[in-house]
């Protein structure tokens, strides 16, 4: 062809400085865009063959990325359909900027380059983020096509001429500028390709690597090895999410997990997602071993669009509680290049959300139904996740009601209905409310769980990071049910059955005892009262109001609850009028002795609550030694 010069059709003087400035923070995506274009060109060639519109030799599909540090170039080559000079004019010179004025208007508002790149068919032009000059050498598949060349120096002027490609396909050559010379480092390119190209559907080669191979045997019959150079192929062209579940074994899922997260423990189980109506979505989601450090686990789900990695920030696409899962989601229907607020309102995104939630609930329900024992064994890992989902996603809660488990301190498991049936006979109070009791630390709260046990009450173990919220959720959802920690009140009051216990003290004595304790106890925020408890209950018990404690605990975990974190701790001290110690103290003649006994009983109560520390503990030990 004859040499030709021209101006890229664009309404605005120069768009490149804007692209460069705008996309500066994530300029590495130029490689994603160009490699994707190369993959597309190859896919198109394959499609033409299958449609019978191209009769030439397809060859082995291959995208190649080459770095020439001396020449300061990066070349992306493919053996795809190529372009004729006319197509370059149409697709590169004009189409790219048909939306330029719109682009200019929008870029002012957008905060994130991801939000708009590609939206205007600017993928190819992202090359100018890192290059001063870009050259295309291409030969179209069309019979009789001439090789064509296009060069542009980042201004709006381009040059076209006869090209030098002798085989079908395209080379895009980037002349990397000074500020971006880091992209001429091989490790950098390897890193970017590993991130974006790892699962592309066409082999992507980046140079070669050395591999050790068997090379027969030596004279002694020992195996010999040799080093050979093999093509360094970046990707797995058919990752498991593109296959049918029936083709896959457990080992395949586990191997893929290891490939994604080399340092993680094996996952507990997984879900293969596959839907093509009303939206397209494939993927595999894994349930990781979560334990209790769930904050660390986020941002593990990777989002792909037709096997091109897009982001690992799937917020808004996946329901919040499912962010604890690992794995991949691939959907061409998720709008990737629009703003986050638009994403939340997008109807496909909403449907995808609902679909994933349902699939996860199905899987859990199935596991629970098919093998309850195995499900219980996994509960320490999935419990956190199920509870989090139950609290945050009403649709999930509707399903989870049937498979959320409660476990007691004896490590027995119950569904919500089973538990209600179990405790209702003993734990219904005078107002017909059922009261569930729980411990957050059975070791520390032993005095209280022991008291509950003596009464024939069951105690749940609720010690996880979301359990406070889960408890509040259950109280809202379950009818006539209250949930209290074992130390929220004396055992008689925890589940108030209106059983009157006679006092062994006169009114006068009760008053006297109360005064005595009030002057012996000098700690702040202690509300002291004398009550008639069982004779074998502790002489003094310290309890903490359930509601305030729960709110304070939640505030400590974060959230907008600062008010609660500023509340002082408030304790109730209940002196047991019926314990023999009460009569004993009152019958002491010496005031000092009375005070010492009251102090001792109070310290024992502090000890049972794990609150006896520092100088108080020392004083207690010294006093006890004297008493022995
Ligand atoms: N390697 C290539 N081989 C053949 N044609 C190509 C190649 N690269 C780009 N093209 C042509 O140029 C067009 C414009 O590419 P560009 O990357 O700017 O936009 P796009 O790929 O259409 O959309 P996107 O913004 O998603 O990348 C492509 O649609 C394609 O027709």
Residue-wise DSSP of 228-283: EEEEEE---SS-GGGS-GGG--HHHHHHHHHHH-TTSPPPSEEEEEEE-SSS-EEE
Please list every protein residue whose CB sits less than 6 Å from any atom of ligand 1: 33, 37-38, 41, 78, 80-83, 91-92, 96, 118, 121-124, 170
- Say which residue, 285 or 564, is predicted with more confidence: 285
Residues of the chain with pLDDT > 90: what percent?
58
For ligand 1, atom 12, name the residue with the nearest CA. Answer: 91
Mutating to test ligand 1, I would choose from 37, 98, 148, 204 the residue with most ligand atoms within 8 A of its C-beta, which is 37
User: What's the rounded mean pLDDT across residues 593-602?
Assistant: 91
Q: How far apart are CA 279 and CA 273, in angstroms?
A: 12
Task: Calculate how far, in angstroms, residue 143's C-alpha sits from the geometric centre of ligand 1.
Answer: 21
- pLDDT score recorded for residue 516: 92
- pLDDT score recorded for residue 24: 46
Cβ pair 76, 137 in contact under 8 A: no
Half-sphere exposure of 249 (CA within 13 A, CB side): 1
Structural domains in the chain?
14-207 (3.30.565.10), 240-374 (3.30.230.80), 404-494 (3.40.50.11260), 507-545+552-627 (1.20.120.790)
ipTM for this prediction: 0.97
Task: Calculate how far, in angstroms, residue 37's C-alpha sits from the geometric centre of ligand 1.
Answer: 5
- Say which residue, 5 or 130, is predicted with more confidence: 130
The pLDDT-based confidence of 293 (bands split at 50, 70, 90) is: low
CA-169 nearest atom, ligand 1: 3
For ligand 1, atom 19, name the residue with the nearest CA. Answer: 121
Task: Calculate how far, in angstroms, residue 339's C-alpha sits from the geometric centre of ligand 1.
Answer: 23
Considering the chain, what is the average pLDDT of its residues? Answer: 87
Strand duo 434-439 + 148-152: pairing: unpaired
Does the pTM of the predicted model rise above 0.90? Answer: no
Residues of the chain with pLDDT > 70: what percent?
87
């Amino acid at each position: 062809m004859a040499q030709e010069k021209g101006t890229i059709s664009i309404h605005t003087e120069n768009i490149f400085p804007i692209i460069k400035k705008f996309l500066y923070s994530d300029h590495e995506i130029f490689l994603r865009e160009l490699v994707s274009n190369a993959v597309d060109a190859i896919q198109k060639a394959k499609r033409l063959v299958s449609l019978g519109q191209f009769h030439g030799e397809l060859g082995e599909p291959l995208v190649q990325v080459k770095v020439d540090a001396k020449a300061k170039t990066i070349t992306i080559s493919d053996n795809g359909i190529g372009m004729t000079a006319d197509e370059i004019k149409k697709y590169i010179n004009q189409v790219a900027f048909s939306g330029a004025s719109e682009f200019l208007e929008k870029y002012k508002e957008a905060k994130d380059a991801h939000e708009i790149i590609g939206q205007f068919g600017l993928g190819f032009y992202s090359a100018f983020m890192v290059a001063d000059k870009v050259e295309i050498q291409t030969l179209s598949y069309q019979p009789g096509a001439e090789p064509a060349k296009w060069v542009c120096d980042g201004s709006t002027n381009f040059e076209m001429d006869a090209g030098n490609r002798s085989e079908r396909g395209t080379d895009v050559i980037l002349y990397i500028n000074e500020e971006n010379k880091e992209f001429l480092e091989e490790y950098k390119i390897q890193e970017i390709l590993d991130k974006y190209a790892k699962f592309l559907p066409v082999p992507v080669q980046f140079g070669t690597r050395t591999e050790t191979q068997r090379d027969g045997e030596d004279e002694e019959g020992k195996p010999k090895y040799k080093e050979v150079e093999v093509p360094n192929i970046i990707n797995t062209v058919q990752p498991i999410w593109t296959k049918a579940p029936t083709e896959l074994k457990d080992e395949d899922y586990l191997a893929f997990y290891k490939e994604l997260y080399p340092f993680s423990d094996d996952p507990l189980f997984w879900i293969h997602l596959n839907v093509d109506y009303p939206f397209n979505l494939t993927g595999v989601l894994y349930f990781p071993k979560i334990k209790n450090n769930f904050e660390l686990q986020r941002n593990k789900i990777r989002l792909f669009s037709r096997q091109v990695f897009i982001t690992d920030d799937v917020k808004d696409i996946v329901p919040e509680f499912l962010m604890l899962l690992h794995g991949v989601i691939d959907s061409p229907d998720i709008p990737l290049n629009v703003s986050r607020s638009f994403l939340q309102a997008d109807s496909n995104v909403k449907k995808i959300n609902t679909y994933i939630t349902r699939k996860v609930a199905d899987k859990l329900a199935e596991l629970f139904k098919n093998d309850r024992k195995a499900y219980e064994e996994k509960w320490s890992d999935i419990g956190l996740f199920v509870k989090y989902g139950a609290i945050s996603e009403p649709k999930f809660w509707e399903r989870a009601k049937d498979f959320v488990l409660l476990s007691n301190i004896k490590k027995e498991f119950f569904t919500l209905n089973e538990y209600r049936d179990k405790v209702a006979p003993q734990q219904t109070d005078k107002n017909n409310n059922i009261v569930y009791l729980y411990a957050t630390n059975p070791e520390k709260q032993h005095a209280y769980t022991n008291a509950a046990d003596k009464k024939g009450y069951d105690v749940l173990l609720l010690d996880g990071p979301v359990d406070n919220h889960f408890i509040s959720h259950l109280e809202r959802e379950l009818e006539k049910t209250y949930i209290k920690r074992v130390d929220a009140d004396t055992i008689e009051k925890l589940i108030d059955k209106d059983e009157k216990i006679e006092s062994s003290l006169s009114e006068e004595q009760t008053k006297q005892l109360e005064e005595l304790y009030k002057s012996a106890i000098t700690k702040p925020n202690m509300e002291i009262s004398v009550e008639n408890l069982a004779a074998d209950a502790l002489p003094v018990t310290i309890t903490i109001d359930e509601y305030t404690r729960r709110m304070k605990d939640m505030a400590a975990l974060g959230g907008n609850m600062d008010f609660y974190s500023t509340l002082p701790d408030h304790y109730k001290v209940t002196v047991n009028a019926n314990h023999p110690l009460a009569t004993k103290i009152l019958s002491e003649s010496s005031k000092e002795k009375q005070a010492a006994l009251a102090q001792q009983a109070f310290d024992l109560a502090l000890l049972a609550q794990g609150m006896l520390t520092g100088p108080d503990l020392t004083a207690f030990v010294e006093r006890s030694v004297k008493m022995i």
